[in-house]
Amino acid sequence: MLRDFVDDFLMMPMHDVYLQSAEQHFGRANSHCTGVMFLRPTLTALALIEATIEELVKCMATSACTDQEALNAVLLAQEFNVGRLDPADYPGGAQYFGVEPTYSDPLFYNESARAQCNSPPILVHNNWLVGRANKIVRFRLHGLWSISGEKPERPWRHTTEVSSVFREVW
Amino acid sequence: MAWGEANEPEHGSLGSRRCAACTTQAVAFALDLEALDVAQSTDVEVRTELLSASLSRESNYGSASFQPVVMQKLRALQLLLREGRTIFFLDTVLNVHVHVHVHVS
């Protein structure tokens, strides 16, 4: 979190639900991410969450589906009026770091993707990358890793530092 | 962890955009005893309604054994909405601070 999302939320057009894009691009999202959600306490928001629970119960019986897939299925089937968080301010890992096909390289970085994000964005979702250690390394490399009450660490740039982080978190 | 919005009732709800002073606070739903220990060592509000002794320790988001974990996440959102709280759900690592926002309109 790099800027105040509550202030931003108060300036947004009124929607019961705001969702982060799950797309790689910065255009209008057809797929939404359940990792960043802003919900107002309305009947519409409650109905969406309860429909998602029902959908997850149904799909759990037959597959390893996720809450995100369940929510997107509900959004597709029903006409919920959801707001979309601007990826330039609320980027996922694909938009802030770029897409690496194996989802396992924390060193991967695509400058042209980053250039489309605001600087700084409001928050960065450390997804599109598998593994706790990988996520910590990537945040440290980009100066986004901080421990509560301490100053953010400087970005890590040297191979030896990256190696030591892997040893530390694995 | 979710951010519930505790409003001062006399100033109206956050959704009304008329709140003069709102205090956001972090709410942690502990899903197992280990998480409960960690949550209780912080200054966030700790909830135990969803505590379970049998919840999977799986942490791979797409796996079948992680499904019960994300189901609990949805249950937590459902509980907070029924309590009339505005929710900022952030699936990421955050500094936990109490924020005080003052809006004058």
Per-residue pLDDT band at B19 (split at 50, 70, 90): very low
- Any A CB within 8 A of B67 CB: yes
Per-residue pLDDT tens for B48-105?
999 988 887 777 777 888 888 899 999 999 999 999 999 999 876 454 443 333 333 2
CA–CA gap between residue A90 and residue A85 (Å, rounded): 6
Q: What region does A15 belong to: left with phi over 0, alpha with psi -120 to 50, or beta?
A: beta
Contact present, B20 and B104 (Cβ < 8 Å): yes
Chain A residues lying within 8 Å of B97, measured CB to CB: 148
Please indicate whether, in this complex, the C-beta atoms of A39 and B77 are within 8 angstroms of each other. yes
Beta strand A17-21 pairing with A82-84: parallel
Specify the number of domains making up chain B. Answer: 1
Please indicate whether, in this complex, the C-beta atoms of B67 and A66 are within 8 angstroms of each other. yes
Q: Length of chain B, please?
A: 105
Please indicate whether, in this complex, the C-beta atoms of A124 and B92 are within 8 angstroms of each other. yes
The answer to whether the predicted template modeling score (pTM) of the entire model surpasses 0.95 is no
pLDDT of residue B9: 33
Strands (E), chain A: 17-21, 32-39, 82-84
Q: CA-nearest residue of chain A to B75? A: A53
Among A6, A39, A41, whose Cβ lies nearest the Cβ of B24? Answer: A6
- What is the ipTM metric for this complex? 0.86
Write the DSSP symbol of residue A156. Answer: P
Please indicate whether, in this complex, the C-beta atoms of A35 and B90 are within 8 angstroms of each other. yes
pLDDT of residue B98: 34
pLDDT of residue A27: 94
> Chains A and B: how many Cβ contacts under 8 Å?
113
Q: CA-nearest residue of chain A to B64? A: A64
Q: Which domain holds residue B49?
A: 2-102
Would you list the DSSP string of chain B? -EEEEEE-GGG--GGGT--SEEEEEEEEE--SHHHHHHHHTSSSEEE-TT--SS------TTSGGGHHHHHHHHHHHHHHHHTT--EEEE-S------EEEE---
Two tokens, residue A143: 């100066």
Nearest CA distance, A56 vs chain B (angstrom): 8
pLDDT of residue A20: 97
Per-residue pLDDT tens for A95-128?
999 999 999 999 999 999 999 999 999 999 999 9
